[in-house]
Structure 1
Amino acid sequence: MTVLTTTRHQAEPLAHYRLLTAVQQHGFDTAIQRANDAHDADRYNAAMHTAGLAIGIALADGAEITQCACQDCYCDAVFDTSGPDLIVIETTDYGVQRFQCAACADDHPATPED
Protein backbone atom coordinates (compact mmCIF):
# COMPACT_ATOMS: atom_id res chain seq x y z
CA MET A 1 0.00 0.00 0.00
CA THR A 2 1.36 3.41 -0.98
CA VAL A 3 0.96 6.32 1.39
CA LEU A 4 1.14 9.85 0.05
CA THR A 5 1.74 12.81 2.31
CA THR A 6 0.85 16.41 1.69
CA THR A 7 3.91 17.84 3.39
CA ARG A 8 6.28 19.83 1.26
CA HIS A 9 10.00 19.27 1.23
CA GLN A 10 11.73 22.07 3.09
CA ALA A 11 15.45 22.65 3.09
CA GLU A 12 17.02 21.97 6.45
CA PRO A 13 18.84 24.88 8.06
CA LEU A 14 22.61 24.71 7.80
CA ALA A 15 22.83 25.72 11.46
CA HIS A 16 20.89 27.22 14.33
CA TYR A 17 22.37 30.51 15.47
CA ARG A 18 21.71 29.90 19.19
CA LEU A 19 23.71 26.66 19.03
CA LEU A 20 26.81 28.37 17.65
CA THR A 21 29.64 29.30 19.99
CA ALA A 22 30.22 32.97 20.78
CA VAL A 23 33.26 32.92 18.47
CA GLN A 24 31.21 31.40 15.62
CA GLN A 25 28.41 33.94 16.14
CA HIS A 26 30.89 36.83 16.08
CA GLY A 27 32.59 35.49 12.95
CA PHE A 28 29.26 34.95 11.21
CA ASP A 29 27.88 38.37 12.20
CA THR A 30 31.07 40.16 11.13
CA ALA A 31 31.15 38.39 7.76
CA ILE A 32 27.46 39.08 7.09
CA GLN A 33 28.00 42.76 7.94
CA ARG A 34 30.95 42.85 5.53
CA ALA A 35 28.76 41.29 2.85
CA ASN A 36 26.05 43.88 3.48
CA ASP A 37 28.64 46.66 3.21
CA ALA A 38 30.45 45.24 0.16
CA HIS A 39 30.57 47.50 -2.87
CA ASP A 40 31.51 44.84 -5.39
CA ALA A 41 30.68 41.21 -6.13
CA ASP A 42 34.14 39.85 -5.26
CA ARG A 43 34.05 41.27 -1.74
CA TYR A 44 30.44 40.20 -1.28
CA ASN A 45 31.19 36.62 -2.36
CA ALA A 46 34.31 36.48 -0.16
CA ALA A 47 32.28 37.66 2.84
CA MET A 48 29.57 35.05 2.16
CA HIS A 49 32.23 32.35 1.96
CA THR A 50 33.71 33.58 5.25
CA ALA A 51 30.26 33.57 6.91
CA GLY A 52 29.86 29.92 5.94
CA LEU A 53 33.31 29.00 7.20
CA ALA A 54 32.61 30.78 10.50
CA ILE A 55 29.84 28.29 11.21
CA GLY A 56 31.65 25.30 9.73
CA ILE A 57 29.92 25.20 6.34
CA ALA A 58 31.85 25.29 3.07
CA LEU A 59 29.58 27.07 0.60
CA ALA A 60 29.70 26.55 -3.13
CA ASP A 61 31.06 29.42 -5.23
CA GLY A 62 28.47 32.18 -5.46
CA ALA A 63 26.26 30.71 -2.71
CA GLU A 64 24.69 33.01 -0.16
CA ILE A 65 23.95 32.31 3.48
CA THR A 66 21.74 34.24 5.88
CA GLN A 67 19.84 34.04 9.13
CA CYS A 68 16.05 33.94 9.08
CA ALA A 69 14.62 37.45 9.31
CA CYS A 70 11.17 36.33 10.47
CA GLN A 71 9.47 39.00 12.54
CA ASP A 72 6.78 36.70 13.96
CA CYS A 73 8.95 34.35 16.00
CA TYR A 74 12.44 33.87 17.32
CA CYS A 75 13.65 31.65 14.50
CA ASP A 76 17.41 31.26 14.44
CA ALA A 77 17.80 29.17 11.30
CA VAL A 78 20.86 29.89 9.18
CA PHE A 79 20.34 28.74 5.61
CA ASP A 80 21.39 28.91 1.99
CA THR A 81 19.31 31.52 0.19
CA SER A 82 18.83 29.28 -2.83
CA GLY A 83 16.61 26.90 -0.86
CA PRO A 84 12.97 26.25 -1.72
CA ASP A 85 9.93 28.04 -0.28
CA LEU A 86 11.75 31.11 1.06
CA ILE A 87 10.01 34.47 1.21
CA VAL A 88 11.87 37.73 0.58
CA ILE A 89 10.60 40.07 3.27
CA GLU A 90 12.82 43.05 2.51
CA THR A 91 15.36 44.30 -0.01
CA THR A 92 17.87 46.85 1.28
CA ASP A 93 19.00 49.95 -0.58
CA TYR A 94 22.02 47.95 -1.73
CA GLY A 95 19.89 45.15 -3.14
CA VAL A 96 20.58 42.71 -0.28
CA GLN A 97 17.53 40.57 0.39
CA ARG A 98 16.32 39.46 3.81
CA PHE A 99 14.53 36.11 3.85
CA GLN A 100 12.00 34.26 5.93
CA CYS A 101 13.02 30.59 6.07
CA ALA A 102 10.87 27.83 4.59
CA ALA A 103 9.60 26.65 7.99
CA CYS A 104 8.47 30.15 9.00
CA ALA A 105 7.06 30.78 5.54
CA ASP A 106 4.97 27.65 5.98
CA ASP A 107 3.90 28.34 9.60
CA HIS A 108 3.27 32.09 9.40
CA PRO A 109 4.12 33.56 6.01
CA ALA A 110 5.07 37.22 5.85
CA THR A 111 3.73 39.42 3.13
CA PRO A 112 6.76 40.15 0.95
CA GLU A 113 8.17 43.62 1.48
CA ASP A 114 6.10 44.17 4.67
Structure 2
Amino acid sequence: MAVMTHTQNRPSVDYRDLTPATQQRLDQILERADNTSDAGEYNSLMLGVAALAGIDIAYGGEVLRCSCTCVCPAVFDNADPDARTIEESCGFNLPIRQCPPCADRHPAPDLD
Protein backbone atom coordinates (compact mmCIF):
# COMPACT_ATOMS: atom_id res chain seq x y z
CA MET A 1 0.00 0.00 0.00
CA ALA A 2 1.43 3.36 -1.05
CA VAL A 3 1.22 6.27 1.34
CA MET A 4 0.75 9.69 -0.19
CA THR A 5 1.76 12.77 1.71
CA HIS A 6 0.00 16.00 0.97
CA THR A 7 1.45 19.47 0.84
CA GLN A 8 0.44 21.54 3.82
CA ASN A 9 -1.69 24.51 2.88
CA ARG A 10 0.43 27.33 4.28
CA PRO A 11 0.67 30.79 2.70
CA SER A 12 4.31 31.14 3.79
CA VAL A 13 7.13 29.42 5.64
CA ASP A 14 10.28 30.58 7.37
CA TYR A 15 13.29 29.67 5.23
CA ARG A 16 15.32 29.13 8.42
CA ASP A 17 12.91 26.37 9.50
CA LEU A 18 13.82 24.29 6.44
CA THR A 19 16.67 21.81 6.70
CA PRO A 20 19.98 22.91 5.16
CA ALA A 21 19.54 20.32 2.40
CA THR A 22 16.03 21.61 1.64
CA GLN A 23 17.28 25.22 1.64
CA GLN A 24 20.02 24.32 -0.83
CA ARG A 25 17.62 22.46 -3.12
CA LEU A 26 15.03 25.26 -2.94
CA ASP A 27 17.70 27.83 -3.86
CA GLN A 28 18.90 25.68 -6.78
CA ILE A 29 15.38 25.28 -8.15
CA LEU A 30 14.59 29.00 -7.77
CA GLU A 31 17.81 29.90 -9.61
CA ARG A 32 16.95 27.53 -12.42
CA ALA A 33 13.39 28.92 -12.60
CA ASP A 34 14.75 32.47 -12.70
CA ASN A 35 16.86 31.66 -15.74
CA THR A 36 14.74 29.27 -17.81
CA SER A 37 13.22 30.38 -21.09
CA ASP A 38 10.67 27.55 -21.15
CA ALA A 39 7.27 28.30 -19.57
CA GLY A 40 6.48 24.63 -18.95
CA GLU A 41 9.78 24.11 -17.16
CA TYR A 42 9.18 27.27 -15.11
CA ASN A 43 5.76 26.02 -14.00
CA SER A 44 7.18 22.60 -13.10
CA LEU A 45 10.00 24.19 -11.12
CA MET A 46 7.52 26.36 -9.21
CA LEU A 47 5.51 23.26 -8.29
CA GLY A 48 8.77 21.70 -7.04
CA VAL A 49 9.58 24.74 -4.90
CA ALA A 50 6.04 24.70 -3.52
CA ALA A 51 6.32 21.02 -2.60
CA LEU A 52 9.68 21.57 -0.87
CA ALA A 53 8.33 24.52 1.09
CA GLY A 54 4.99 22.90 1.90
CA ILE A 55 2.99 25.64 0.18
CA ASP A 56 0.00 24.64 -1.94
CA ILE A 57 -0.17 26.53 -5.25
CA ALA A 58 -2.13 26.06 -8.44
CA TYR A 59 -0.36 25.14 -11.69
CA GLY A 60 1.02 28.40 -13.02
CA GLY A 61 1.47 29.86 -9.54
CA GLU A 62 4.72 31.04 -8.01
CA VAL A 63 6.54 30.61 -4.72
CA LEU A 64 9.10 33.30 -3.92
CA ARG A 65 11.63 34.18 -1.26
CA CYS A 66 10.97 37.65 0.14
CA SER A 67 13.17 40.25 -1.56
CA CYS A 68 12.88 42.86 1.18
CA THR A 69 16.08 44.64 2.21
CA CYS A 70 15.45 43.57 5.83
CA VAL A 71 16.60 40.09 4.72
CA CYS A 72 13.30 38.52 5.66
CA PRO A 73 13.32 34.69 5.73
CA ALA A 74 9.80 34.29 4.28
CA VAL A 75 9.08 31.91 1.43
CA PHE A 76 5.57 32.76 0.24
CA ASP A 77 2.86 32.25 -2.35
CA ASN A 78 3.11 35.09 -4.85
CA ALA A 79 -0.66 34.96 -5.36
CA ASP A 80 -1.13 36.58 -1.94
CA PRO A 81 -2.86 39.89 -2.72
CA ASP A 82 -0.90 41.63 0.05
CA ALA A 83 2.52 40.88 -1.48
CA ARG A 84 4.14 43.91 -3.10
CA THR A 85 6.48 44.42 -6.04
CA ILE A 86 9.71 46.19 -5.06
CA GLU A 87 11.23 46.66 -8.51
CA GLU A 88 11.13 45.24 -12.01
CA SER A 89 13.09 42.00 -12.41
CA CYS A 90 14.66 43.06 -15.75
CA GLY A 91 15.84 39.99 -17.63
CA PHE A 92 14.84 37.38 -15.07
CA ASN A 93 11.66 35.41 -14.46
CA LEU A 94 11.18 35.74 -10.72
CA PRO A 95 9.46 38.91 -9.57
CA ILE A 96 11.24 41.01 -6.94
CA ARG A 97 8.54 41.18 -4.27
CA GLN A 98 8.02 41.63 -0.57
CA CYS A 99 6.02 39.15 1.46
CA PRO A 100 2.81 40.60 2.98
CA PRO A 101 4.27 41.31 6.46
CA CYS A 102 7.23 43.19 4.94
CA ALA A 103 4.93 45.10 2.61
CA ASP A 104 3.16 46.38 5.74
CA ARG A 105 6.29 47.00 7.81
CA HIS A 106 8.64 48.34 5.13
CA PRO A 107 6.58 50.06 2.45
CA ALA A 108 8.25 50.43 -0.91
CA PRO A 109 7.01 52.15 -4.04
CA ASP A 110 4.28 49.93 -5.41
CA LEU A 111 4.97 48.85 -8.97
CA ASP A 112 1.96 46.54 -9.24
Please indicate, yes or no, whether the TM-score normalized by the shorter chain is above 0.5.
Answer: yes
Q: Distance in 1 between matches of 2:55 and 2:44?
A: 14
Uncovered stretches (5+) of structure 2, i.e. residues with no partner: 1-9
Match in the other structure for 1:80: 77
Question: Could you tell me the percent identity over the aligned residues?
Answer: 39
- Count of equivalent residues: 101
- TM-score normalised to the size of structure 1? 0.79
Q: CA 1:40 to 1:75, structure 2 compared with 1: closer, same or farther past 3 Å?
A: same
| Contact 1:36 1:96 (C-alpha < 8 Å) held by counterparts | yes
Deviations 1:25-83, CA, capped at 9 Å, x for gaps: 01110110110011011011111111112223343211100011001x23111110010
Q: Distance in 2 between matches of 1:101 and 1:62?
A: 19
Larger Rg: 1
| Segment of structure 1 superposing worse, 104-113 or 39-48 | 104-113
Uncovered stretches (5+) of structure 1, i.e. residues with no partner: 1-11
- TM-score normalised to the size of structure 2? 0.80
Q: Which runs of 4+ in 1 moved over 4 A?
A: none
Superposed CA RMSD in Å reads 1.7
Match in the other structure for 1:9: none
SS at match of 2:85: strand
| Contact 1:13 1:77 (C-alpha < 8 Å) held by counterparts | no
| Segment of structure 1 superposing worse, 85-94 or 43-52 | 85-94
Offset at residue 91 of structure 1 (A): 2.3
